Amino acid sequence: MPPSNSIKTQSSQGKAVFMIQPKESCTHDFCLLSNTEQDKTPSQESLVALKEAELGRKRVVFPNKSVNSEHMKHVLESEYKKLKSQDGAFELMRAESGGTSRPLKLILMPSDGYSIPYIRDLVGSNTLLYIRPMKSCLSLDNHHSLLLIRNLKHTAPNAACPFLSCS
């Protein structure tokens, strides 16, 4: 069975030839930081806390390779709900050198904003990009855990709560 992104054509010898079309979408790895002043890569413990707070590292899929800055912002905000609080005020950074707690280097924003073609030309497709909020620090509270705790308090007020003392 031919791949789903292929087109069947007829060759001059009468044999079927399948041509594979390149994918329109593209992916890139991002890590949303919580602190407006963070200038080093997060530790393993910080990465766990970021992930629990629905921040941290994610592989983001963009619908096509020519996504402009406004669409890129929209896609990132749909992946990272807390990023919406920044009203588009964020910076992209990349890690320098090797080892743990590496320095982060700011990727200068062009006048028309960050876009997929700009990022791909500058850092390629395999570089993890860090998103640093500019307007305010992002909360490390986990919305789902807080809802679970509230629900446990309301449904079983006298039951032992694994997260905190529920009395």
Over residues 139-160, the pLDDT tens digits come to 998 755 444 444 444 444 444 4
3-state helix, strand, coil in the chain (%, to 5): 30, 25, 45
The answer to whether the beta carbons of residues 74 and 55 sit under 8 Å apart is no
The yes-or-no verdict on residue 32 having pLDDT over 60 is yes
Q: Can you tell me the distance from the alpha carbon of 50 to that of 46, in angstroms, rounded to the nearest whole number?
A: 6
- What distance in Å separates the CA atoms of residue 86 and residue 155, rounded to the nearest whole number? 35
Q: Could you tell me which residues are beta bridge partners of residue 28?
A: 60
Phi–psi pair at 65, nearest 5 degrees: -85, -5
Domains of the chain: 26-146 (3.10.20)
Residue with tokens 């054509």: 9
Which of 102-116, 122-136, 143-157 shows the lowest per-residue confidence on average (mean pLDDT)?
Answer: 143-157
Question: Is the whole model's pTM more than 0.85, yes or no?
Answer: no
